Amino acid sequence: MTDSSPSPAEAAEAPRRGVGRWTVVLAAAVALVVVAAIAFSVGRLSTLGEPTPSTTSAEAGFARDMQVHHQQGVELAMIIRDATDDDATRLLAYDIATTQAQQSGQMYAWLAEWGLPQFGAEPAMTWMTQPADDGEAHGGHGSGAGDGTSAHEPGDPMPGLATPEQIEELKSLEGVEAERMFLELMIAHHAGAVEMADAVLARSDYPVVVSLAEAIVASQQSEIALMEDMLAERS
C-alpha cells in the first residue's frame, strides 16, 4: 500500500503557507487602517480655519453621497479583482479601490470636523437640486451639471450606481465576461461621479471641496478613457 501521508518537509511547509496567507491578510488590513487614519488627518487639517458648512449645504450633501458612491466603486473593484487573472484589470481595480477608499476617508473627516452627522435627515441627492451659485461657481467639466441645472429630485438614485441585480450578476462571472461587465458598470459609475463632482463645483467655493471635486473629475475622466479602450479590446 502506498503511503499518502505528507513527508516531514511537506508537513513543515504547510503551516508556513498558512502563516503566509494570514500575513498577507493582516498586512492588507493594516494598510487600510493606515490609509483611513491619514485621510482623516488630512481631511481634518485641511478644513481648519474655514467657515463651517451647514448640514443641508451642498458641501455636506456631496460629502455624504459621494462616500456612498465611492463605497460601491470599491466593492465593484474588489469583485473583479477576485474574478480575473488579467494583470491590467487587477491593477485598475487596485487603483480604484485605494483611491476611492482614501477619498471616502477624507470626506468622512470633513463631516466630523464640521460637527455634522454622517447621515443627513434629508433624502440623498437633495443638495443637487439646490440652485447653483449664479450657475458659474466653477463651471462644468463635460457632464452637463456645471450649468447649474439638475434633473435630479430628492431621493433619486445617485447617478451611475449599479443595481443590486447587476452586482449579483458580476459576482457570478469570471474571466473576460467579468472584465467586460465590470468595465461597463465602472464607466457608468465614473460618469456619475463626474456629474456629482461637477454639480458641487457649480454650488461651492469651499477650498477643500473644490480641490477634491476637481481631482475626482480629472482622475475619473482619465480612467473612463482607459476603460473604454480596455472594453473595446474585449468586444
Residue 218 lies in a domain: yes
- Identify the helix (H) or strand (E) that includes residue 85: none
pLDDT reading at 87 higher than 60: yes
Residue 2 lies in a domain: no
Give the angle subtended at the CA of 10 by the CAs of 6 and 12, to the nearest 5°.
120
Residue 1 lies in a domain: no
pLDDT reading at 49 higher than 80: no
pLDDT at 16: 41
Number of H helices, E strands in the chain: 6, 0
Residue 139 lies in a domain: yes
Confidence of residue 65 (pLDDT cuts 50, 70, 90): very high
Residue 3 lies in a domain: no
Give the angle subtended at the CA of 108 by the CAs of 115 and 191, to the nearest 5°.
130
- Mean pLDDT for the chain overall: 82
Residue 71 lies in a domain: yes
Between CA 175 and CA 84 the distance in angstroms is: 5
57 in Cβ contact with 114 (< 8 Å): no
Between CA 153 and CA 172 the distance in angstroms is: 33
Domain carrying residue 166: 8-233
pLDDT at 157: 85
Mean pLDDT, residues 89-106 taken together: 97
Largest CA distance in the chain: 86
* Residues whose CB falls within 8 Å of the CB of residue 38, separated by 6 or more in sequence, listed in order: 102, 105
Q: Which residue has the higher pLDDT, 14 or 56?
A: 56
Q: Which residue has the higher pLDDT, 106 or 50?
A: 106
pLDDT reading at 105 higher than 90: yes
Q: Which residue has the higher pLDDT, 232 or 34?
A: 232
pLDDT reading at 8 higher than 70: no
* Cell numbers describing residue 173: 462571472
Residue 66 lies in a domain: yes
155 in Cβ contact with 125 (< 8 Å): yes
187-216 per-position pLDDT tens digit: 999 999 999 999 999 999 999 999 999 999
* Residues whose CB falls within 8 Å of the CB of residue 68, separated by 6 or more in sequence, listed in order: 124, 158
107-159 per-position pLDDT tens digit: 999 999 999 999 999 999 999 988 987 544 454 444 333 444 556 777 788 99
Number of structural domains (the chain) is 1
Residue 198 lies in a domain: yes
CATH number at residue 191: 1.20.1260.10
